Amino acid sequence: MLARILLTSFPVKLNPTQRSKLADLLFDLAKIIFGGSVLGPFLNAGDRAISAVAIVIGTFLASILLYQGLTLLKNGEDN
């Protein structure tokens, strides 16, 4: 909610290169979060329990970042 208010109050114009680089950064962050919080516990579980909360939160954050990156790329094609 706050992000939407700030983005509509202070619009930022990005050129296509900046939009593409920002989308790539969001994709990379989504991959790192997914790998670290979702795949990491499975690879290094040992005798510890795998936290379902970490998996759910990691998947949720990664999907939000992926959606934002795809939205940036889609909006960049319209301009």
Q: How many other CB atoms sit within 10 Å of the CB of residue 74?
A: 10
What pLDDT band is residue 1 in, cutting at 50, 70 and 90? very low
Lowest mean pLDDT, pick from 5-14, 22-31, 37-46, 49-58: 5-14
What local confidence, expressed as pLDDT, does residue 28 receive? 93
pTM exceeds 0.85: no
pLDDT of residue 3: 52
To the nearest 10°, the Cα dihedral for 35, 23, 63, 77? -140
Residues in the chain, overall count: 79
**pLDDT value of position 78:** 56
Residue 14: per-residue pLDDT: 77
